[in-house]
Amino acid sequence: MLRRLMTLTALVLTAGWLAGCASPQYLQPSPERTTSVPSIGQGQAVTVTTVDGRQSEQIGTRSGNAMSTSVITVEAGALIPRLQDEAERALRDMGFQPTTQAADGRPSLTLTLQRLAYGREDSRPMLDKARLESVLEARAENGGATYTGTYTSSLSQEFAVSPGFKKHQSMVERVLSDGLNRAFRDPELGRFLSR
């Protein structure tokens, strides 16, 4: 009787673990620019827009199998407003006055999330590796000219136990924050907007 009870308990725990691994995750990361930016503006208004240029909100699967049900999703509805807030904060710190209203002759900046991807790959024995990549594009227009910068960030991490929701969210925040840092510390971008 005790053996049957132990077997049943093990089966229930295994089924619960497998169900947890197979369930989708919907992340709501809050990336933040943490680097200093050049103080180059003199109060000029800059129209700033942030858009999602990804082909899908699904960034990958926890199993690494494309057919898996353990998909990881980062929805634009939560992420894009956060990126917009960080772009506006960066421009304010640079000495500009960010606005969402377009106007003739006003410099503009469009920040596009081109890619956000999560993949799994084999690492050392008993270890797996997760790889995240983000690509942000900053397209600035000023005086009839255009400046475009592309900023790629990646993060690889080994683990013995599959990461959970909080760890995945933290990893996505880190890679997106690095992308924001790369974009707004680009001296050419600031100089182009201020000329």
- Cβ-based neighbour number of residue 9 at 10 Å: 10
Model confidence at 175: pLDDT above 90: yes
What was the pLDDT predicted at 68? 60
Alpha-carbon distance of 119 to 7, in angstroms, equals: 35
- Give 82-98 pLDDT, tens digit per residue: 999 999 999 999 999 99
* pLDDT tens sequence across 102-137: 999 999 999 999 999 998 776 565 567 889 999 999
The model's pTM = 0.83
Q: Which residues contact 177 (CB under 8 A, 6 or more apart)?
A: 31, 32, 33, 34
Number of alpha carbons in the 13 Å side-chain half-sphere of residue 31: 31
Which is more confidently placed, 12 or 53? 53
Torsion sign (Cα): 144, 93, 29, 166: positive
For the chain, the average pLDDT equals 86
pLDDT in tens, 29-59: 999 999 999 999 999 999 999 999 999 999 9
Phi, psi of 140, rounded to the nearest 5 degrees = -110, 140
**pLDDT at residue 159, rounded to an integer:** 77
Rounded Cα–Cα distance for residues 23 and 10 (Å): 20
| Half-sphere exposure at residue 195, Cβ-oriented, CA atoms within 13 angstroms | 14
Q: How far is 153 from 106, CA to CA, in rounded Å?
A: 30
State the amino acid at position 94 in one-letter form: M
Through-space distance between the first and last CA atoms of the chain, rounded to whole angstroms? 82
Q: Do β-strands 97-99 and 45-52 pair in parallel, antiparallel, or remain unpaired? A: parallel
- In this structure, the number of other CB atoms found within 10 A of the CB of residue 42 comes to 8
